[in-house]
Amino acid sequence: MIYSIISRSVWEQVSKENVYAPDSLKTDGFIHCSTKEQIPWVAAQYYAGRTDLLLLGIDEKALKPELVYEDLYELNELFPHIYGELNLDAVQKVIPFEPNKEGVLSFPE
């Protein structure tokens, strides 16, 4: 399973559709995703202070577009990228993603 971080408001809009095409698909050519282990780092880098987030748990085998693990930013780590619109029937979980008492976003247990 891979994960994508999304705001509650965006999910409320797109969850009624069949596919999800975030802005990154136009700007970067893919949808940014993470493994469970990568979520804390990604959240700290890009989502610190946010309280309106969800994690989409995506079944890799159910994806229709191509999934590529790659290190595009020379971080010495392979991140999953979805090259196309995310078919929402591949989303197996929608998990509240809220900071703990210290304000840190970590993978929900």
Whether residue 68 has pLDDT greater than 80: yes
* pLDDT reported for residue 33: 98
* pLDDT reported for residue 108: 86
Tally of helices (H runs) and strands (E runs) in the chain: 3, 8
CB 98 within 8 A of CB 107: no
Q: What are 60's two structure tokens? A: 């890799």
Q: How confident is the model at residue 74 (pLDDT cuts 50, 70, 90)?
A: confident
Whether residue 15 has pLDDT greater than 90: yes
* pLDDT reported for residue 109: 74
Whether the pTM exceeds 0.85: the reply is yes
What domains, with CATH codes, occur in the chain? 2-97 (3.20.170.20)
Assign residue 74 a region: left if phi > 0, alpha if psi is -120 to 50, beta otherwise? Answer: left
